[in-house]
């Protein structure tokens, strides 16, 4: 779990660091398309065929759309906000998922303690997003932070679709067969139309970052997460998952020299405390 959180915490930094060489949206499109090839081979070896995919097509397409929206908002938001901010606001997903499960899934109702955690998390979110004169372009950063919230909401929607559909009973690779190809097939034409593919500069840093995102983030990290969920309780893993935004903030500050305001640190800490209370 620590290795998994390190990888996810580094994700936003990896995208932001080479944004001048490859547009963030183009990075998401390319890594999804390339990871799809590996997933297709793995699915074939596990005996998953086209009739199996067609049997869950409707929820599969919805999951693919939610997965794509999540990373579109991440890529879009990183044009405005800091990688450290995106790392924190992306992790509002468990809060939105908990609220959705409360209303949509029997037996998933929130307790009084969890509602307190929701309140803490949203209070921390407001505090962390408060404009600060200590950082230049505070208005743009606020827009990027809002897009990070939309990314978290999209992630939560994907979780709800899986929990409420037949996808909750299929192998993890089966679900990835909808998510990664959908993102690649949808985003590649879009990035081409916007001119991002023609502006790519394949520097050594850009190639290294793209390889890391494809092999480690889109492939190994997701498969590792699903493997861990099969061996350990989700509640136990959930506590470790809060290391991801912490690592993201540290990497952003250390590697990209991103400024950290007192309000953002206090708000982020309150947000993570609320998340821990909700998912404990």
Give me the percent of the chain exceeding a pLDDT of 70: 95
Say how many C-beta atoms besides its own lie within 10 A of residue 195's C-beta. 10
pLDDT at residue number 100: 87
Average pLDDT over all residues of the chain: 88
C-alpha R_g of the chain: 18
Q: Where are the domains of the chain?
A: 2-279
Note the pLDDT tens digit of each residue in 223-256.
888 778 777 766 567 667 778 888 888 899 899 9
């Amino acid at each position: 779990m620590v290795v998994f959180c390190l990888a996810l915490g580094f994700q936003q930094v990896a995208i932001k660091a080479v944004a001048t060489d490859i547009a963030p949206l183009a990075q998401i499109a390319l890594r999804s398309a390339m990871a799809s090839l590996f997933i297709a081979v793995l699915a074939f070896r596990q005996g998953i065929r086209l009739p199996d995919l067609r049997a869950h097509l409707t929820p599969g397409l919805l999951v693919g759309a939610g997965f794509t929206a999540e990373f579109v908002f991440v890529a879009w938001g990183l044009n405005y906000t800091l990688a450290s901010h995106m790392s924190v606001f992306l992790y509002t997903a468990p809060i939105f998922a908990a609220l959705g499960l409360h209303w949509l899934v029997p037996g998933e109702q929130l307790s009084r303690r969890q509602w307190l955690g929701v309140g803490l998390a949203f209070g921390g979110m407001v505090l962390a997003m408060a404009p600060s004169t200590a950082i230049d372009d505070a208005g743009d950063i606020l827009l990027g932070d809002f897009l990070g919230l939309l990314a978290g909401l999209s992630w939560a929607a994907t979780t709800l679709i899986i929990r409420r559909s037949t996808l909750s009973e299929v192998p993890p690779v089966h679900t990835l067969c909808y998510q990664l190809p959908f993102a690649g097939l949808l985003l590649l034409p879009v990035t081409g139309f916007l001119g991002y593919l023609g502006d790519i500069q394949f520097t050594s840093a850009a190639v290294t970052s793209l390889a890391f995102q494809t092999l480690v983030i889109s492939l190994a990290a997701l498969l590792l997460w699903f493997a861990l969920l099969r061996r350990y309780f989700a509640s136990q893993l959930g506590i470790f998952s809060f290391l991801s935004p912490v690592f993201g903030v540290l990497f952003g500050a250390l590697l990209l020299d991103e400024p950290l305001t007192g309000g953002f640190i206090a708000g982020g800490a309150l947000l993570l405390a609320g998340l821990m209370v909700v998912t404990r």
